[in-house]
Structure 1
């Protein structure tokens, strides 16, 4: 059977969950298969992330640079396709074409290749990565702060983490927490208690940075899931004006008072030594995760590994710009003995590829926001569908 080839690509502007323009790409194959992909955008962006360009520049690059260079390229060779995109860009951080452009194309190519082979996206990705699919823990951001909500919280994300890995059971726990939390917040803080931030979590004002954890504990007891969940914090320290000793005090108080076992970006993006000290001190009980520290970038990862800065890494495909480079980062993280957590961005679309990715590589977790707003629920619903498909496959 003849391997299909790329017939053409096209792009268009769409709006993301924050009401900003972003990019969607359609890729068509010679056998009639077609696939779409759209890309998210972050608000708290690490300095070492690949560069995203204006979507109008991305569309011009698609038409004038990329389309002529990839027409006729065969489907199913993800690494070579992505390497061609990287070569066309010719910069270390995708400054010419933009990581948003290359990632949208890379995902669309992966989807079209999977469709042409009669496979699910997760099957295609698992084959590329040579991994055993498994369902990740859910990291649900139920209270938003920092740059993600117009409130007085310094910490960016307050996460509920069900211990259960079955997507339906875990989602049920998140839903119980979410709805009960809304009732309690509205009852105690008035109508503003139901306001939501960028990732669907609640975003009213709080007394201090630890009060959200107090509400989590209250609600977990109320709905009977106290033994079934732990809590996490994405401190996003790049966005804070706090010294390391202040941050350490805040972390100690949170971990000693509440069942907090996940700490993401507890210090600024170049504070490798501070990360390492925290990992040595609390890494036996908590996942110390790098996001702005590592930016899904092999060079940053190598330094973090050398300095023993973290035991967990956030994976955001748009930080690096292609499926192949994302899978390479995951492979290296595993080799370093780190846990891997695939993550959405604050400015999301309804594209659900990260759910397939997290399942395909057997990620330890997936950050997907609250179970509200369509761009967040798309990821929950994709995991629920994968669970049903996988059970039938067995």
Structure 2
């Protein structure tokens, strides 16, 4: 049983140059380390990133209050260590120490326990002796919204997922080919394109959304001709960022368009039909469960995924899944503050027939742990980006795990 013999914390930086907490948990037989990522487009119902006093207050609490209580603590499950941290915090949503500090402890403690037991992190998280399912990579190829500056699209992410790759490494390499080809096409078609990338390593361009999707389809056809890999297209609309509650309209500032709720639903349905989208994330604002249900019912061959709608919250999932609000859910550990909360959300989503997509944040860190979280939770897909060091650490870790699993490894499917 792991016993914590020391705990350290420090301030480091994420990929966006923002300060973030890092935790180190020392147990007999190993040490776990994790630095918390941060999102630019955050749901209103996520755990607060920091306590009221900010990062400085969080670090003070970690040193003065948390460290003395952690040292000497023994735990045999993730539920035990996360429950202990929740009791130390004493609030329903980690508002005392902040979600960033809480998730850094949770994941560092998980890694430390896995090292103590001599097993991979994903095995500790799954609780299973053998696991072979690897997630499909869902890659962000063009970006806009809060992840980009300037003339970029109002839609936050334009995505692609390989559908018939024989291995994870083949899937990743096909996405890299798509990303490269798309950059070449953008350089030819967009007069303002200078090779810029956004927070998540996706291309930033000044084209309108229909032209972007048309160009991505051209790049997909090129990659398929070269490799035989078929791609499915998707978008993350991050519609809560577009929604103006005072006007009660979706405001597309960069394209100078206003849409009512009904017009937004029709716009989403039109994009799905015209571009054969297999994945749409957050098509409506984070309170519109009924609208999600309507879109899901009308598009049975498309994954309608909730991120800001669900924020990895079991209570919101209980509400939304009972109404059929979507058929897939984003899982982000820092939204809820610990791994046990994530696991509860995953289990409920599976019970209700939802697909699971484990996701990075726009302000990421170089830690590879998200790969193990996706495997341990047996996610159908992982959103980890395609380009950028903090993104490829996750993809490279999955490539290594696939190699270790050998003939046992199999790619997940997004269809039943």
Per the TM superposition, whether the score is higher than 0.5 is: yes
Task: Tell me by how many angstroms 1:223 deviates.
Answer: 2.5
Task: Tell me by how many angstroms 1:191 deviates.
Answer: 6.6
- Please give the secondary structure, in 1, of the residue aligned with 2:10: strand
Contact 2:237/2:282, CA 8 A, preserved across alignment: yes
Paired with 1:117 and 1:164, the residues of 2 have a C-alpha distance of 36
Aligned counterparts, 1:125-274, within 5 A: 125-127=125-127, 132-150=131-149, 151-164=151-164, 166-190=167-191, 192-206=193-207, 208-224=208-224, 228-240=230-242, 241=251, 242-274=259-291
Aligned counterparts, 1:81-92, within 5 A: 81-92=81-92
Is 1:33 aligned to 2:30, yes or no? Answer: yes
Could you list the per-position Cα deviations for residues 312-364 of structure 1 after superposition, in whole angstroms to 9, with x for gaps in the alignment? Answer: 11100100011111111101100111001000011100112111111122211
- Gap regions ≥5 residues in structure 1: none
- Please give the secondary structure, in 2, of the residue aligned with 1:391: helix
Paired with 2:91 and 2:26, the residues of 1 have a C-alpha distance of 27
Is 1:335 aligned to 2:351, yes or no? Answer: yes
Paired with 2:381 and 2:401, the residues of 1 have a C-alpha distance of 15
With 86-95 and 51-60 compared, the bigger mean Cα shift is at: 51-60
Paired with 1:123 and 1:311, the residues of 2 have a C-alpha distance of 26
Q: Relative to structure 1, is the Cα distance of residues 133 and 51 closer, same or farther in structure 2, using a 3 angstrom cutoff? A: farther
- Please give the secondary structure, in 1, of the residue aligned with 2:127: helix
Task: Tell me by how many angstroms 1:306 deviates.
Answer: 2.1
Task: Tell me by how many angstroms 1:393 deviates.
Answer: 7.2
Q: CA RMSD in A?
A: 1.7
- Which residue of 366, 377, 400 maps to 1:385? 400
Task: Tell me by how many angstroms 1:392 deviates.
Answer: 7.1
Aligned to 1:298: 314
Aligned to 1:353: 369
How many residue pairs get aligned? The number is: 387
Task: Tell me by how many angstroms 1:32 deviates.
Answer: 4.7
Q: Relative to structure 1, is the Cα distance of residues 195 and 280 closer, same or farther in structure 2, using a 3 angstrom cutoff? A: same
Paired with 1:49 and 1:216, the residues of 2 have a C-alpha distance of 32
Q: Relative to structure 1, is the Cα distance of residues 355 and 111 closer, same or farther in structure 2, using a 3 angstrom cutoff? A: same
- Gap regions ≥5 residues in structure 2: 243-250, 252-258, 410-416
Q: Relative to structure 1, is the Cα distance of residues 133 and 19 closer, same or farther in structure 2, using a 3 angstrom cutoff? A: same
Task: Tell me by how many angstroms 1:126 deviates.
Answer: 1.3
Could you list the per-position Cα deviations for residues 92-126 of structure 1 after superposition, in whole angstroms to 9, with x for gaps in the alignment? Answer: 12110111111100101100000011111011111
Is 1:375 aligned to 2:375, yes or no? Answer: no
Q: Relative to structure 1, is the Cα distance of residues 381 and 93 closer, same or farther in structure 2, using a 3 angstrom cutoff? A: same
Aligned to 2:12: 14
- Which residue of 33, 41, 44 maps to 1:47? 44
**What TM-score do the two structures reach when normalised by structure 1?**
0.94
Paired with 2:323 and 2:290, the residues of 1 have a C-alpha distance of 7
Is 1:279 aligned to 2:286, yes or no? Answer: no
Paired with 1:231 and 1:215, the residues of 2 have a C-alpha distance of 12
- Please give the secondary structure, in 1, of the residue aligned with 2:92: coil
Task: Tell me by how many angstroms 1:74 deviates.
Answer: 1.6
Contact 1:75/1:112, CA 8 A, preserved across alignment: no
**What TM-score do the two structures reach when normalised by structure 2?**
0.89
Task: Tell me by how many angstroms 1:192 deviates.
Answer: 2.4
Contact 2:159/2:233, CA 8 A, preserved across alignment: yes
Task: Tell me by how many angstroms 1:388 deviates.
Answer: 0.6
Q: Relative to structure 1, is the Cα distance of residues 384 and 227 closer, same or farther in structure 2, using a 3 angstrom cutoff? A: closer
Q: Relative to structure 1, is the Cα distance of residues 296 and 184 closer, same or farther in structure 2, using a 3 angstrom cutoff? A: same
Could you list the per-position Cα deviations for residues 234-275 of structure 1 after superposition, in whole angstroms to 9, with x for gaps in the alignment? Answer: 000011124222322322222222131101100000001111
Paired with 2:261 and 2:131, the residues of 1 have a C-alpha distance of 39
- Please give the secondary structure, in 2, of the residue aligned with 1:276: helix
Q: Relative to structure 1, is the Cα distance of residues 373 and 261 closer, same or farther in structure 2, using a 3 angstrom cutoff? A: same
Contact 2:136/2:162, CA 8 A, preserved across alignment: yes
- Please give the secondary structure, in 2, of the residue aligned with 1:27: strand
